[in-house]
Amino acid sequence: MIFLKLFRESFLFAYDALRQNKLRTMLSLLGVTIGIFTIIAVFSAVDTLRDNLQKSVNKLGNNSVYIEKWPWVADDGFPWWKYMQRPVPNLRDFRELQRRSQTAQALTYEISIDNRTIKYKSNTVDGAQISAVTQDHDKTWNFDFAGGRYFTDIESRTGAPVAIIGNDIADNLFPNSDPVGKQIKVMGKYVTIIGAFAKEGQDMLGISNDKQVLVPLNFARSVVDVQNQKYSPSIVVRGKDGIPVDEVEGELRGIMRSIRSLSPGQDDSFSLNKITMLSNQLDILFKVVNIAGFIIGMFSILVGGFGIANIMFVSVKERTNIIGIQKSLGAKNYFILLQFLIESIILCLLGGLIGLLTVYGGTFVVKWVADISIVLYLKNIIIGIGTSVLIGIISGIIPAYSASRLDPVEAIRSN
C-alpha cells in the first residue's frame, strides 16, 4: 500500500511537471522517444528480414546441397578464372550420385531457361522461367499447389509434354478460369498443364515459382542440350532426415571427386552450395545492423537522458520546500529518493511508449505502402521498455539522491 501511494504521488508529480512545462518536457522526452523508436525499429526490421530468409531456407530445404559450377560464397577472394574452367554438372555425375550416395533422400538434375514468352490464344506472359527437372524435384523443393498435381514417374521417364505453371502465369493466361487441362506452347512444343503452383510472392533471395513453367527434364532433352552450361545445370541433393547437412556434404564431395578422377592434391572441380552459406553471411550483416541501430539509438537516448536529468534537478529545486515539510513530518530518505526516482522512470517510460507506438503504427504504414509485414516481437518490446526503465533510473538517481539528502530545516527555509 505504501508503494502504491508512493507511485501515485510520483505519477502526479510527473504529470504536474509535464503539464506545467510542456515544451521543456516534450523536448526532453523526444530524445528518449527517438532512441527507443530507432532500437525497436532496427531490431524489428532485422527480425523481419531473418524471418523472410527462413522462409527461403524452408523452401529450398535446409538439408539440401546444390552441386554447381560456381560457388554462392567464396572465402578466397572469388578467383573467377579458376571457376570458369570448371565443367558443369552433367547427367553422368547425376546418375553416379544416384547409384553411390547413402545419405541422400532425393536427388534431382535441374536446368533453367530464363526470359521466355508464354502464350495462350491472345494472352501473353513475358519473362517466364522454364525449369526442366527430374522426378524427385518435389522432394528437394517445398511448394504448394493451387490446383492439379505433380508429374508421375512415367511422365518424367518418358518426357511427356506436360507442365506445371506458376500463379502469375496462370492469372495472366487464364484469368477467371482453371488452367489445368489446357495447352500452351513451350520451347516450340505444345504441352498440357497438369498443375498450378499456389501464389508465393518474391522472397528476399529473389526466389519464386510465380513466373515458372516446370517441365520434365526428358521432355526438354528433345528440344535443348540440357548439359549446356548456358542453362546453369545443377544437381540438388536432399539429405535423409536426421543426417547433418555437413555429413551429406562430405559424402558428396568424396563421390564427386571420385567421379571426376581428382587426385588428392587437386582442387575440387565443382562447388557444393548450401543455404546455410547465405544465411551465415546474412547473419553477420544482421549483427552489424543490430549493433549500428543500437548505438544510434543509445546516442539519442543519452541526449534524452540528460534532458530527463535536467528536468529532475529543476524539479528538486522547485520542490525543495515540499521536501523539507515531508521530512519534518517523518518521511524517510528512501521515500524521498523513490519519489523522484519513480518520477524519472515514468517520464522515460512515457517517451519509450511513444516510440513503441510509433513503431507499431509504422508497421501498418509499411504494410499498406509496400505490402511488407513487419514483425514486432515481444522481446523487442521488452528491450524497448527495459531500456526506458534503465535510462529513467540512470537519469534520476543523482537528482533523487540529492533530494533525499537535503536537510529538512534548510529545505523548509528555501524559497
Q: Which of 219, 236, 269 is the last residue of a domain?
A: 269
Same domain (yes/no): 133, 38: no
Residue 4, CA atoms < 13 Å, CB-side half-sphere: 1
More confident residue, 75 or 248: 248
The more confident residue out of 99 and 5 is 99
Can you tell me the mean pLDDT for 95-119?
A: 91
pLDDT at position 141: 83
**Stronger pLDDT, 200 or 147, i.e. the higher one:** 147
Q: Do residue 249 and residue 133 come from a single domain?
A: yes
Q: Is the pLDDT of residue 236 over 90?
A: yes
β pairing state of 64-68 and 234-239: antiparallel
- Note the residue count of the chain: 415
pLDDT at 381: 87
Residue at which a domain ends, from 217, 247, 269? 269
- Print the domain residue range for 329: 2-56+280-413
Q: Is 31 inside a domain boundary?
A: yes
Residues 2-25 have a mean pLDDT of 69
261 and 289 housed in the same domain: no
Residue 247 neighbours by CB under 8 Å, 6+ apart: 103, 239
Nearest Cα neighbor of 182 from 113, 121, 127, 112 is 121
- Are 106 and 236 in a shared domain? yes
pLDDT of amino acid 251: 94
Q: What confidence category does residue 62 fall into, taking pLDDT thresholds of 50, 70 and 90?
A: low
Indicate if 225 and 103 belong to the same structural domain.
yes
Within-domain flag for 260: yes
Note whether 357 and 38 are within 8 A (CB): no
Global pTM reads 0.68
pLDDT in tens, 153-165: 999 999 999 999 9
Q: Is the pLDDT of residue 392 over 90?
A: no
Cα 21 to Cα 73, 119, 130, distances in angstroms: 57, 69, 67
Domain count, the chain: 2
Q: What are phi and psi of 240, to 5 degrees?
A: -70, 150
User: Can you give the pLDDT at residue 84?
Assistant: 86
| 8 Å CB contact between 393 and 341 | yes
Q: At what angle do helices 275-318 and 22-60 cross, to 10 degrees?
A: 170
- Copy the grid coordinates of residue 54: 527462413
Task: For the chain, give the mean pLDDT.
Answer: 83
* CB contact at 8 A, 151 and 194: yes
Give yes or no for a contact between 170 and 200, defined as CB atoms under 8 angstroms apart.
no
Q: Residue 275 domain-assigned?
A: no
For residues 154 and 241, state if they share a domain. yes
Residues 228 and 102 in one domain: yes
Report residue 68's pLDDT band, with 50, 70 and 90 as the boundaries: very high
List C-alpha distances in Å: 85 to 69, 70, 93, 322: 9, 10, 17, 85
244 exposure class (CB count in 10 Å sphere: 0-12, 13-18, 19+):
exposed
**Stretch 166-187: mean pLDDT, rounded?**
88
Instruction: Indicate whether 331 and 360 sit together in one domain.
Output: yes
The distance of Cα 187 from the centroid of its chain, to the nearest Å, equals 37
At 90 the pLDDT is 93
Same domain (yes/no): 191, 313? no
Examine the domain organization and report whether 94 and 161 are in the same domain. Answer: yes
Which of 269, 293, 324 finishes a domain?
Answer: 269
pLDDT score recorded for residue 109? 96
Residue 57 pLDDT: 63
| Predicted local confidence at residue 327, as pLDDT | 80
Instruction: Give the chain's radius of gyration (CA, Å).
Output: 32
Return phi, psi of residue 308, to 5°: -65, -45
pLDDT tens digits along 179-189? 999 999 888 88
Least confident of 207-216, 227-236, 317-326: 317-326
| Residue at 154 is within a domain | yes
**Mean pLDDT, residues 148-157 taken together:** 93
pLDDT at 202: 62
Q: Are residues 114 and 191 in the same domain?
A: yes
Whether residue 365 lies inside any domain: the answer is yes
Query: Does 395 fall in a domain?
Result: yes
* Residue 15 within a domain: yes
What is the tens place of the pLDDT at every residue in 358-389?
888 888 888 888 767 788 888 888 888 888 88
Distance of CA 255 to the CA centre of its chain: 35
* Per-residue pLDDT at 151: 93
Query: What's the pLDDT tens digit per position in 283-319?
Result: 777 788 778 777 877 777 777 788 788 878 887 887 7
Least confident of 115-119, 182-186, 397-401: 115-119
Q: How confident is the model at residue 150 (pLDDT cuts 50, 70, 90)?
A: very high
Do 111 and 221 lie in one domain? The reply is yes
Question: Is 115 contained in some domain?
Answer: yes
